[in-house]
Amino acid sequence: MKAKDINPSENSAEANRIRLQLLRSLMNFVHDEASESKIFDFGFRKLAEIFPDFQITFSKRDKLDKPTKHILETPLLINKMIVGVLRMESSNAHSWTDFEKLILCDLADYLSLVIRDRRSLERARESEQKFRQLAENIQEVFWMTDPAKNQMIYVSPAYESIWNRSIESLYENPMSFIEAIHPVDRERVIAALPQQASGTYKQEYRICRPDGKERWIRDRAFPIRNDQGKIYRIAGLAEDISDQKAYETKLKEVQSIVVSNAKMAALGEMAGGVAHEINNPLMVILGKLGQLQKWADENNDLKANIQSHLDSIAKMVDRIAKIIKGLRAFSRNADLDPMVTSKLSQIVTETLELCLAKFNHASIELRFDEGQFEIEVDCRPVQISQVLLNLLSNAFDAVQNLENKWIEISARKVGKDRVQLAVSDSGRGIAKEILVNILDPFFTTKEVGKGTGLGLPISQGIIEAHQGRLWYDEKSSYTRFIFELPCSKKI
């Protein structure tokens, strides 16, 4: 039966059979190797078999012509946009039937699907190619797993060069990378794995390679969600940071040397004051001993006076012991000392023993209320003493030539678990153009040979290592540095 003999209202079964046969023919013809033009040609031939009296054409345009008795058109739609127009044209005036319209729409719909799918597939292939080009040429390891870590979906080739293990071994056992993690770091990394689903996973750890070498890895991960918002992939990026870690280690070694040199410079700077500090008590001791000897020779009934002098001698000896203890503590490396619970009053008092004579000799008033410092902190006392000594030394240099010269140490509790210590002096503050560089290493406003420019940066590093912070108080009318520490967690 020819299409022109079909009346859809009277023979819809035959009409549907022809429509279904057309779609089956198109579906059987379409395959991965068939181009869009070949598919169009095939569709036109099949349509011509159904409608041999009409001319069938396709044009790439985004609107339809005005319908006439000679022309029937239908659009090809992709994402609701017209990408082309199918046309059937009759040489004579023709009243277009519903069947003819349905067949033309069927072909247009199917070709629209083919074009959309082909273009989507082409974009997907291009995206995949770009992704592989990127993943296979970056130095980092890009990886992707299922949320349960049961399947390694993808791992980039850099894995083999960094881990010195085959990619196939990781595909076979996605958790095998755990075996490569250094035993010291392994438990921490395993405990952090659940963070991958929240996007907060970021770990640095060492791996042990089969060739015996160790490498440092920085590993990050984030979740990938499907259209329903459910996590169905975990993707990550692991990079080799061994060179960076080696540089950091070397930098710490250099900083340790610099800190040691800075300590020695500070010790040399206060050597004169220390000598004076020790010499004076010794002179008192010698003088009191001479008096005791003389009184003992002249009168045996002076026990009370002798006892008083003995107490004075004991006090001076105790002072000498504190000074020597402070010097010995300050001159050694405290970086590896454990955190201990200490009273700020003891740290401040022992620090002042090292510089009190220097302040007195320069007629600098020292303001210090020991009652403010009855607060305990978990710290390395030697390092906190070093910070205080540096701030006091800077304050001394700033005020020693002023007419009104004083230095004040104060403390106050902030909130429930923080304490602030402030070192203020009678100077009129720091100029803004200098302030921007005040914490930069090797920046100093002192004369050549008097300052290293390392005191404040080192102090800042020490305080930050104690989970605190150090800053210059720009609101103060005088020169004022503050550092903040967490109070002791010990109840």
**Residue 55 above 80 pLDDT?**
yes
Q: Let me know if residue 445 belongs to a domain.
A: yes
Is residue 139's pLDDT more than 90? no
Tokens of 180: 């490569």
| 79/105 same-domain check | yes
pLDDT, averaged across the chain: 80
Q: Residue 68 sits in a domain of what CATH number? A: 3.30.450.40
Q: Are residues 178 and 281 in the same domain?
A: no
Examine the fold and report which residue of 332, 366, 386 is the final residue of a domain before the chain moves on: 332
Residues 292 and 358: their CA atoms lie apart, in Å, by 30
**Is residue 354 exposed (0-12), middle (13-18) or buried (19+ Cβ within 10 Å)?**
buried
More confident residue, 462 or 4: 462
pLDDT at residue 25 is higher than 90: no
Same structural domain for residues 195 and 311? no
Regarding whether 72 and 209 lie in a shared domain, the answer is: no
* pLDDT-derived band at 178, boundaries 50, 70, 90: confident
CA distance 294 to 5: 149
Alpha-carbon span 439 to 458, nearest angstrom: 9
At residue 323 the predicted structure's pLDDT band, cuts being 50, 70 and 90, is low
Is residue 401 located within the same domain as residue 413?
A: yes
Number of Cβ within 10 Å of residue 329's Cβ equals 17
What's the domain count of the chain? 4
Q: What is the pLDDT of residues 440-491, one digit of tens each?
A: 766 676 664 455 566 788 888 889 989 999 999 988 889 999 999 999 876 4
- Is the pLDDT higher at 144 or at 334? 144
Residue 461 and residue 428 share a domain: yes
Dist CA 95 CA 128 (whole Å): 50
Note whether 116 and 81 are within 8 A (CB): no
The strand ranges marked E within 241-370 are 340-343, 365-368
Looking at mean pLDDT, say which of 100-109, 135-144, 408-417 comes out highest: 408-417
Query: Measuring CA to CA, which residue among 173, 174, 241 is closest to residue 207?
Result: 241
**pLDDT number for residue 282:** 64
What is the pLDDT at residue 353? 81
Residue 42 lies in a domain: yes
Q: Which domain holds residue 305?
A: 260-332
| Dist. CA 405–CA 395, nearest whole Å | 10
Within 13 Å, how many C-alpha atoms sit on residue 417's CB side?
Answer: 8
Residue 201's domain is classified under what CATH number? 3.30.450.20
Confidence of residue 1 (pLDDT cuts 50, 70, 90): very low
Q: Out of 239-253, 263-277, 429-443, which region has the weakest mean confidence (pLDDT)?
A: 263-277
Those residues whose C-beta lies under 8 Å from the C-beta of residue 204, and which sit 6 or more positions away, are 216, 217, 218, 219, 241
Give phi and psi for 410, each to the nearest 5.
-135, 165
Closest CA to 207 of 234, 189, 191: 189
Which of the four pLDDT bands, split at 50, 70 and 90, describes residue 14? confident
Sheet holding 231-240, edge to edge: 152-155, 141-145, 231-240, 214-225, 202-208
Between CA 386 and CA 456 the distance in angstroms is: 11
- Is there a single domain that holds both residue 377 and residue 491? yes
Q: Does residue 426 sit within a domain?
A: yes
Q: Which one has a higher pLDDT value, 82 or 183?
A: 183
From start to end of 93-168, where are the E strands? 141-145, 152-155
DSSP 446: S
Of 332, 356, 389, the domain-final residue: 332
Instruction: Work out the angle at residue 130's Cα, subtended by the Cα atoms of residues 127 and 133, and round it to the nearest 5 degrees.
Output: 150
Look up the CATH number of the domain holding residue 488: 3.30.565.10
Q: Is the pLDDT of residue 6 over 60?
A: no
Question: Which residues lie below 8 Å from residue 443, measured CB to CB, with a gap of 6+?
Answer: 437, 453
pLDDT at 268 over 60: no
The pLDDT, as a whole number, for residue 261 is 61
Give the contacts of 264 (CB within 8 A, at least 6 positions apart): 331
Rounded to 5°, the CA angle 246-250-255 comes to 145
216 or 282, greater pLDDT: 216
| Low-confidence winner among 164-173, 250-259, 357-366, 370-379 (lowest mean pLDDT) | 250-259
